[in-house]
Structure 1
Amino acid sequence: MELLRNAVRPYAWGSRTAIADLLGRPVPTPHPEAELWMGAHPGDPSRVIRPDGDEVSLLSLLEEDPAHHLGPVCAKRWGSRLPFLLKVLAADEPLSLQAHPSAEQAAAGFRQEEEAGIARNAPNRNYPDPTAKPELVCALTEFHALAGFREAQRTVRLLDELAVPSLRAHRELLAAQPDADGLRALFTTWITLPENYLREVLPELLEACVEHVRGHGEFALECRTVLELGEAYPHDAGVLASLLLNRIVLQPGEAIFLPAGNLHAYLNGTGIEILANSDNILRCGLTPKHVDVPELLRVLDFACGDMRVLKGESLDANLTAYRTPADEFELSRLDWTPAESGVVHLDSPGPQILLCTKGSIRLTSSSHNGSLPRELRLERGQSVWLAASDPAVQVRPAELDLDGRAQVFRAAAGAF
C-alpha cells in the first residue's frame, strides 16, 4: 500500500484547470493539461513513493517481481505488464476521431509491421504493440462524446433535415441500404473524398447546420458539434464522418465502454478513463496525424444503434462496479455521504490502483505475516498502489468535501 506520483500529459486539447484543481495546484495552468496517467505505461510510468520518501518506477518494480506485484494468475496471463492504465482525462477541445483493433487484429498488424521494418515510433506506424485497446470512460463532469454508428434510419432522417444538395446522392445510398453495409459504403465514400470536393461540400453542410440550429431542429446538438468540428478542421473528412455517430452526453457517474472497432471521439469534459495498456490507434480524422484508410476500414465495426450508457452495478451501499467484457481491467467507484459512511473491504488476487476524487479517505491494511496493520490517508487527487501480495484493505471516509461526499475510483485487472 504505497502512494503514487503520476505524470501529467500536456496535449493541446487539454484543460488548464481540471487536472490542476484535482491535484490542488494553482489554476489556470500556463499550458493545457490533458491526461493524468496512473500505471506502468513505458512512456510515463507512475513512481511508487516508499515510506522513507524514496521513489521507484512502478514499471521497474513489475519487471523485477511480477508475481509479487501482479499475482501469479495475472503474471501468467500478462507477463510483467500491468494490463490496464488508469487516467484522468480532461478535454477542452475534441480529440481525434479514432478506433482501436481487436487482439487478433493487433497481433497480426504488429507482426506485419515488424516484418516490414517500420520503426515503432514511425508516424505511419499503426501497431506499436501487439495488444488490443478496449477502454471505458466514466464522467466526472458532464462529458460529451461521439461514439458508435447511429441507427441508419435516423441518419437518413438527419440528412433529410439538413437537405444539403451535394449530399443528396449520398443520402440515397444509405436510404437504399439502411444497415451496417450501407453505413460502410457511405463512410468509405466520405472518408476517401478528395480535398477539392470537401472544400465544396463542407461549407454547404455547415450552412445547413446553422439553419437547423436556428430552427431548434431535432438534431441541433449534432449540428452544433459539426459546426465546432468544421471550424477547427475546415477541410477534414472527419467532419462528415461525425454525422454518422451517436452524440452522447454523460452525466457524472455515467460511463460508456468502447470495444474494438468502435469509432469515437471525446469532445469535452473531465472523466476517469481506464483502458488496456496499449498504444494501438487507427485514426479517422480531426487530426493532422497519419490516417490509414484501408486499415481503418478493416478494423471498424459498422454495427449501428444507440450506445449503451452504463450506470454501474451497485454491489453495496458504497460500491458501484462498471462491468465490461474486457479481460484487462475493471473499474469500480466508492462513494460516501453522511448517510452512508460504511467501511468497504477490498481484497483482490491482482493489482489495484485507487484514486481519490472527492473528500479524503482512510486506508487500513490487515495484519499480514505477523506485521502490524498500516494506515494511510488519501487526499483528493492522490492515488495509491496495492500490489497483489498486499494484505486486504479497509476503506472508509476520513473527511467529506463541502458537498458532503467522499469518492474513490478503483482500477483492477479484470482477468479473474
Structure 2
Amino acid sequence: MDRLANTVRPYAWGSTTAIPELLGIDATGAPQAEMWMGAHPGAPSRIDRGAGPVSLAEVIDAAPEAELGADTVRAFGPRLPFLLKLLAAGSPLSLQVHPDLAQAREGFADEERRGVPIDAGHRNYKDANHKPELLCALTPFDGLCGFRHPAQAAALLEGLGVDALKPYVDILRASPEEDALREVLTAVVTAEHDAMADTVEHAAAAAEKLGAQGGEHAGSYAAYAAIAHHYPGDPGVIAAMLLNYVQLQPGEALFLGAGIPHAYLNGLGVELMANSDNVLRCGLTPKHVDVPELLRIVRFASGDPGVLRPEADGGEEVYETPIDEFRLSRFVVAPGAAPRALDARTPQVLLCTAGTVRLRAAGGEGAPDELTLGPGESAFAPAGEHLTVSGEGTLFRATVVA
C-alpha cells in the first residue's frame, strides 16, 4: 500500500477553512475546494515506492493488472474507474447535470469529430465516460437535488408574490409533469438577460423576507436567497427554485445519477464518482451554458432526493448505489477492537476523516507493512493487498463493486 500525496483544487466556491481544519494546518485565506485522491489526469495523487514521488496514474499505466486486478481491468479498462474527493463548499457550485454513458460517448465523439479543442471553454465533453456521483456529509451539508413535483414548485414560486413568475406557475399547474418542467426550465435559461435579472432581484428579496418569517418553506426560501446573494441576477436562481432543497446531517449521503439537476451549496463532504469530468451547466456560473445540449441531457421527472444512510455489513457500513465503478463504505473504529479485515479483491483508496487509524498489510517489495493515517490522510492499496484496520477513528473506503 502507498500513502497518497494529494492536490487541493482552489476553485472560487471553495471554503477557506474546512479542509485546513480537517488536515490540522493553517488556512491560507484562499479557497480550498476539493482534494483529489486517485489517478484522474487532471490532478493525480502521487506515491513514493522508494525511487522518489511518482504519479499514481503513471504507476497504474505501467502495470494495470498488477495495480487494479484483472477483473477491474476487464470491466472498466486499464484505469482506476473512480475518483475520491474531499469537497468543501463555501458558496454554491454551478447548477449542473451529468450525461449517461451513451450520451457521453456520443457527445465526446461529436466534439472530437468537429475538432473542438479539449480545453475549449465551450467544450461539453472532456471524456467519453458518465459521471454518477455520491456525496456523504462530514458536516451539516446543504444542496439541491432533482426536480420538485410541479405543483410543489408552483406553490413555492407563487408564494413569492412576483408577477413575472406567474406564467411559470400557470405552466407548472396546467401541463403534464415532463412538459411543465421542460417548458419552465427552457423559458428560464433562454430569457432575455435584463428582464430575468430584474425578476431574480425581486424573487430574491421576497425569498429573504419569507425565509426569515418561518413557515413550511422557510428553509428553502432562505437557501434560494443565499444563492441569489452569490449570483445576483443569474437565471439559475429561478431554475434552482424548481429543485428539492436538501439538508444532510453528518453520515447521510446523496446519490446523483445521470440527468439529475443538482448543486452543492455549503458544507464539507466525501465525494466519490466515476472517473469523468463531463458537466452540463444550467446556471449559477460564469461558464458556458449549452442550452440545447442541456435540455437533451436533463431528465424532466420529479422525485424525492433519496437521502442515503449506510447499511451495516459486518463491521463495514456501506452506501448502496446502482453503480459498479465505485462503492463507498466507512469503518468507525473503536479503541481496543480487534483489527478488521478489508476485502482485497479490488483496488481501494482509504481516507481517514477523524481520529487515527492504522492500516496493516502482509507487506510486499518496496511497500511498508503499516501506515498510520490521521484526519485528511489517505492511502492506495492495489488489488490483492490484504489489509486490516485498527485504531480509533473513522475510515472511508472507496473501491469497485466486486
TM-score range, shorter chain: over 0.9
Q: How many residue pairs are counted as aligned between the two chains?
A: 402
Equivalent position of 1:348 in the other structure: 344
Output aligned runs, 1:55-74, within 5 Å: 55-74=53-72
1:153/1:341 Cα in 2 relative to 1: closer, same or farther (>3 Å)?
A: farther
- Match of residue 254 from structure 1: 252
SS in 2 for 1:119: coil
Poorly superposed stretches of 4+, deviation over 6 Å: none
| Match of residue 308 from structure 1 | 306
Provide the residue aligned with 2:24 in structure 1: 24
Residue 213 (structure 1) shift: 2.2
**1:185-264, aligned counterparts within 5 Å?**
185-264=183-262
1:382 corresponding residue in structure 2: 377
Q: Distance in 1 between matches of 2:157 and 2:230?
A: 22
Cα shift readout 1:196-222 (whole Å, capped 9, x = no counterpart): 221331222123213322432321111
- Shift, 1:332, TM fit: 0.4
Equivalent-residue separation in structure 1 for 2:107 and 2:160 (angstroms): 39
1:68/1:387 contact within 8 Å kept: yes
The separation in 2 between residues aligned to 1:47 and 1:393, in whole angstroms, is 21
Please list every run of 5 or more consecutive structure 1 residues that lacks an aligned counterpart in the other structure: 401-405
* Counterparts in 2 of 1:157 and 1:342: CA distance versus 1, 3 Å: farther
TM-score normalized by the length of structure 2: 0.96
Q: Is the 8 A contact 1:359 1:379 kept in 2?
A: yes
Q: Return the letter of the residue paired with 1:307.
A: P
| Partner secondary structure for residue 241 of structure 2 | helix
Point out the more displaced range, 152-161 or 207-216.
207-216
TM-score normalised by structure 1 residue count: 0.93
Shift of 1:151: 1.8
Correspondence for 2:353 among 357, 365, 374: 357
Deviation sequence 1:11-53 (CA, Å, 0-9, x none): 1111222211222212x32311111100001011001122x47
The answer to whether residue 374 in structure 2 is matched with residue 413 in structure 1 is: no
What's the counterpart of residue 128 of structure 2? Answer: 130
- Secondary structure at the aligned position of 1:230 is classed as helix
Aligned 1:84-99 pairs, distance under 5 A: 84-99=82-97
Which one-letter code corresponds to 1:409 in the other structure? F
Task: Kindly state the Cα deviation for residue 169 of structure 1 after the two structures are TM-superposed.
Answer: 1.7
Partner Cα distance (2:390, 2:172) in 1: 54
Q: Distance in 1 between matches of 2:364 and 2:39?
A: 26
State the distance in 2 between where 1:249 and 1:269 align.
10
Cα shift at 1:76: 1.8
What is the root-mean-square deviation of aligned Cα atoms in Å? 1.8
Q: 2:388 is matched by which residue type in structure 1?
A: Q
After superposing the two structures, state which structure 1 stretch, 347-356 or 371-380, moved more: 371-380
Tell me how far 1:355 sits from its aligned partner.
0.7
Query: Does the 8 Å CA contact 2:272/2:398 hold for their aligned counterparts?
Result: yes
Conservation of the 8 A alpha-carbon contact between 1:336 and 1:342: no
